[in-house]
Amino acid sequence: MLQQHSPGQNRLLAALSTGEMERLFSHLELVQMRLGDIVYEPGEKLQYAYFPTTAIVSLHYVTESGATCETSGVGSEGVVGVPLFMGGDSTPSSAVVHTAGHAYRLQRHMMKQEFDRHGLMGRVLLNYVQALITQISQTAVCNRHHSVEQQVCRWLLMTLDRIPSGELVMTQELIAGVLGVRREGITQAAGKLQHAGYIRYRRGHLTVLDRTGLETHACECYSVVKKELGRLAVVPRH
């Protein structure tokens, strides 16, 4: 059975008015996003904004030594390419697909043109930017003050919110790179979570068995970000 795709699977596009969607619909291009695809690189002039529907994109920074750390993730709740409408056009960070799926992309001139109309889309995008800033700030706090286990729980829960199936295809190396910690730390944390009965991990496949357990074990960072995303997702139309 063929999977059905719709722009409405992205929360930002779903929040737009009928008139805005009619203007944008013919310009939205459905694209496949494969695991490891580079959406943009540091300093590169962005050409498209991407509205994920089933894919998840990791925004992260790579140091001169080659170490990486995710600053935020973007799924169906958001858009990749904030610099396009905020006036920057480029960013020192990278964007890489960490969960394969699909997204709708919009050319830069259309994105800027719609944002500059100062209509509902502009308000939706600015609300999302505020939520993204909260996510980035909370990630910094979490990486500095909370244990690797708590960071893993936070990251898994945020990923689950974007992929409700509970089945995640990922390696411990990927999680270590995203969180900016050693793989040994991820192995130890995953082992404890598996022993507690919260997850099952085998050969690159991670299954969440007890979401409530993960939520109990996670730090407050997850709930802070989730609450802010939910609050800012409600945009008054008038």
**HEC string for 161-178:** HHCCCCEEECCHHHHHHH
**Continuous segment of H or E residues that includes residue 38:** strand 38-40
- Residue 203 makes CB contacts below 8 A (sequence gap 6+) with none
Q: Which residue has the tokens 């995303």?
A: 229
Indicate whether 155 pLDDT > 50. Answer: yes
> Do 105 and 157 belong to one domain?
no
Backbone angles phi, psi at 234, to 5 degrees: -90, 110
With bands split at pLDDT 50, 70 and 90, how would you rate the model's confidence at 50?
very high
Mean pLDDT over each residue of the chain, to the nearest integer = 89
Indicate whether 121 pLDDT > 70. Answer: yes
pTM for this predicted structure: 0.90
Could you give the CA distance from residue 84 to residue 45 in angstroms, rounded to a whole number?
Answer: 9
> Do 83 and 33 belong to one domain?
yes
> Do 159 and 102 belong to one domain?
no
Closest CA to 10 of 59, 48, 51, 39: 51
> Do 117 and 153 belong to one domain?
no
Give the pLDDT confidence score for residue 7 in this predicted structure. 94
Give the pLDDT confidence score for residue 126 in this predicted structure. 94
Give the pLDDT confidence score for residue 236 in this predicted structure. 53
Terminal CA-CA length for the chain: 40
- Average pLDDT (34-53) is 93
Q: What is the CATH number of the domain that holds 103?
A: 2.60.120.10
- According to DSSP, the residues that pair with 3 across neighbouring strands are none
Give the pLDDT confidence score for residue 75 in this predicted structure. 94
- Average pLDDT (120-148) is 92
> Do 125 and 173 belong to one domain?
no
pLDDT digits (tens, 9 = 90+) for 52-79: 999 999 998 888 888 788 899 999 999 9
- Kindly report the CA angle at 181 between 57 and 75, in degrees rounded to 5? 15
Give the pLDDT confidence score for residue 52 in this predicted structure. 97
With bands split at pLDDT 50, 70 and 90, how would you rate the model's confidence at 178?
confident
3-state secondary structure of 229: helix
pLDDT digits (tens, 9 = 90+) for 2-11: 468 999 999 9
Q: Which residue has the tokens 């890489």?
A: 96
Domain total in the chain: 2
Give the pLDDT confidence score for residue 201 in this predicted structure. 86
pLDDT digits (tens, 9 = 90+) for 93-102: 899 998 999 9
Q: For residue 199, give the amino acid letter.
A: I
Q: How far is CA 170 from the centre of its chain?
A: 15
Give the pLDDT confidence score for residue 14 in this predicted structure. 94
Give the pLDDT confidence score for residue 104 in this predicted structure. 98
Give the pLDDT confidence score for residue 2 in this predicted structure. 46
pLDDT digits (tens, 9 = 90+) for 225-238: 999 888 877 655 54
- According to DSSP, the residues that pair with 167 across neighbouring strands are 207
Alpha-carbon Rg of the chain, whole angstroms? Answer: 18
With bands split at pLDDT 50, 70 and 90, how would you rate the model's confidence at 206?
confident
Indicate whether 172 pLDDT > 90. Answer: no
Give the pLDDT confidence score for residue 1 in this predicted structure. 39
> Do 63 and 181 belong to one domain?
no
> Do 177 and 72 belong to one domain?
no
Closest CA to 32 of 102, 89, 80, 92: 102
Q: Is 107 exposed, middle or buried (0-12, 13-18, 19+ CB in 10 A)?
A: middle
Residue 177: domain span: 147-218
**Pure H helices in the chain:** 11-14, 18-25, 83-86, 108-115, 120-145, 148-162, 172-179, 183-195, 211-217, 220-232
Q: What is the CATH number of the domain that holds 199?
A: 1.10.10.10
